[in-house]
Amino acid sequence: MAFPSHCPYVIIGAGIHGLSTAYHLALELKAQGKGSGSDILIVDKSGISAGASGIACGVIRNNYFQPAMRELMAHSVKVWESDPDAYSYHPVGYMQISSETMHEDIVSIHQQQKNIGYRSTLIEGEKDCMAYMKGIFDDWQAQNITTVLHEEPGGYANNTRAMYGLASKAEAEGVRIISGVEVSGFKEDATGAIRAVETNRGVIECDYVVIGAGPWTPKFWDMLSLPKTIDIKNSVTGEIVKDVDMWIYWSLQEGTLGVDPNLQQTNDGKMPPVIHVDTDAALYSDVDGSLITDKMWGIYYKPDFHFGGIQGGAAPFIVDKKADDVNVDPYGPLSPEFIVGDDFAHMWVSALAHCQKRFSGQIAKYKNEPSGGIGAFTPDSFPVFDHFRENCYVIADSNHGYKMLGVGKLVAETICGTESKLLKPFRFSRYQEGDLHPVSNSPFPWS
């Protein structure tokens, strides 16, 4: 197939955002009689799910303190549920298990989930929480837990199978996906609109560009000459914080304990919900009993046959990179030691044992292989979804990406003329306007 010199819609990135946008845009163009999937081209420097989407944990949840995030996730869960086979989606549910520090936040989340019709069960009080958890796992032993929020929808998806399933759906609509195409710049007209995408394979003239590049978003942000630093207004005090770095790099801490995934079956022999624990209980080593931390900590985990064990992660940490270091490949020449901290396995497996006795003495089975990755976060750790340069839509997910399958559908509708109320809270102008998302007490920057 000859490399195209023109395509009306060029989408950069063959991960979850690029594939979802392309597939749903093909459907939207056809429905409105404005075109078809053959008008859409996806380019990726490597290939389908070769970046962040290919190593994602795959957890799908609605557990957000921020109302806008919660509504957006409820929409995305419905998209996952629309074709669970193609998306390799496992609707096992999700559990947020927390200490008293987060009690008020979790009660608020539960109430707002009820308001939008998202099914969940709230358990309060240390005694009732312990009884509830032991009813699921008879070896549950986490201390200081005073709140359990059990979401019925949600679960997880097989990361690469889901992406190839999505790619197949897009290609069935006529969308073209070309790998090995690295974008080097854009050609603009006198108004600033993009008229062509420059690549290592040639120039592609186009009418519209969508950037769904995950952790590589800062690179394209720079190509578009968008600001490397921004001013942020505090809507309460009116104070303006100037020259805040637009991008903050976090090292995402994830890994796999190489045990039989069936080890995590529930008391009734079923596969369990995804477990997420945030607690201020002291965490001690499962190896030698030494204190690991007496500060707030958090982990998440699930049995996963694709990863071959119990897979999950812990709270990330900030990487010392500068905002102008946009050419660093987040998943390129970085060693596993840089991506995942040396002490991650010790902390995470000890935390598993803190929660469930079945994981005690298992640290030798931790898989010492590359996992996690580098995430490009926005100043408030929440996504930016917005138009730039008149005909360019940027999907900057701030590492919320994989679970957001429905964002591509909303972006496609927006491109075709239907503005989305769900995407509006994530406009870039919110920083200048001071219309920011509320902050929770979670140790995770994305909750």
pLDDT grade for 331, boundaries at 50, 70 and 90: very low
Residue 400 lies in a domain: yes
Residue 215 lies in a domain: yes
Q: Greater confidence, 305 or 282?
A: 282
pLDDT grade for 374, boundaries at 50, 70 and 90: confident
**Torsion of the alpha carbons at 97, 103, 107 and 108, rounded to the nearest 10:** -110
Residue 447 lies in a domain: yes
- Percentage of the chain surpassing pLDDT 90? 75
pLDDT at 132 exceeding the cut of 80: yes
The whole-number pLDDT of residue 324 equals 40
Residue 209 lies in a domain: yes
> How many C-beta atoms surround the C-beta of residue 125 within 10 A?
14
372, with CB counted inside 10 A (0-12, 13-18, 19+), is: buried
Q: Look at the chain and report how many structural domains it folds into.
A: 1
- pLDDT, tens digit, 9 for 90 and up, residues 400-409: 878 999 999 9
CATH number at residue 221: 3.50.50.60
Kindly state the average pLDDT of the residues 269-280. Answer: 96
Residue 164 lies in a domain: yes
- 209, β-bridge pairs: 10, 392
Residue 38 lies in a domain: yes
The whole-number pLDDT of residue 16 equals 95
Q: Give phi and psi for 79, each to the nearest 5.
A: -70, -40
Kindly state the average pLDDT of the residues 70-92. Answer: 95
- Percentage of the chain surpassing pLDDT 70? 92
Q: Is the pTM of this model over 0.85?
A: yes
Q: Do the Cβ atoms of 380 and 399 come closer than 8 Å?
A: no
pLDDT at 411 exceeding the cut of 60: yes
Kindly state the average pLDDT of the residues 124-149. Answer: 98
Select from 112, 108, 42 the least CA-distant residue to 73: 112
The whole-number pLDDT of residue 334 equals 38
Cα separation, 95 vs 275, in Å, equals 5
- 386, β-bridge pairs: 394
- Domain limits at 390? 1-58+158-227+382-447
- pLDDT, tens digit, 9 for 90 and up, residues 348-365: 999 999 999 999 999 999
- pLDDT, tens digit, 9 for 90 and up, residues 145-174: 999 999 999 999 998 999 999 999 999 999
Residue 150 lies in a domain: no
User: Per mean pLDDT, which range of 206-215, 247-256, 357-366, 409-418 is the poorest?
Assistant: 247-256
pLDDT at 217 exceeding the cut of 90: yes
Residue 352 lies in a domain: no
Cα–Cα distances (Å) from 332 to 50, 255, 336, 347, 398, in that order, read: 11, 18, 11, 26, 19
